[in-house]
Amino acid sequence: MNRPRFPGQIRRAIQHVRLLEDMSRYMLIRVAEFQVLADDRNIPINEANRTDANQLIQRIEALIQRVQNRIEYLNNLIHRAPLEALFAIINSA
């Protein structure tokens, strides 16, 4: 990914990354709901599918962690921006 150089680019990148985080959390909830629904209705889930679901949950949680790290990186990038970029952020608010 190209490093964003301007405050507007950084803000848009943060918005996109936050959207990805929200979508990841939604997927995590849906997988967990499926497992609970199957258990409540006594729908048999073979161990392979249960293992796949648990692995999917772990992968989504890892994705959420990477997304949060990216948001932190982008926020730090804003704070290290040159003086002109900081003025642009202030003026656009």
> Per the domain annotation, does 79 fall within a domain?
yes
In contact, 6 and 88? CB cutoff 8 Å: yes
Q: What is the pLDDT of residue 19?
A: 84
Structurally, the chain folds into a number of domains equal to 1
Range of the domain at 17: 7-85
**Taking the alpha carbons of 7, 79, 72, 1 in that order, is the dihedral positive or negative?**
positive
pLDDT (tens digit, 9 = 90+) per residue, 41-93? Answer: 777 767 777 787 788 888 888 888 888 888 787 777 766 656 556 666 666 65
Q: Which whole-number Å values give the CA distances from 53 to 29, 42, 62, in the listed order?
A: 12, 17, 14
What is the arithmetic mean of pLDDT over 28-53?
77
Q: What is the model's pTM?
A: 0.55
> Per the domain annotation, does 1 fall within a domain?
no
d(CA 80, CA 77): 5
Task: Evaluate if residue 39 carries a pLDDT over 70.
Answer: yes
> Per the domain annotation, does 69 fall within a domain?
yes
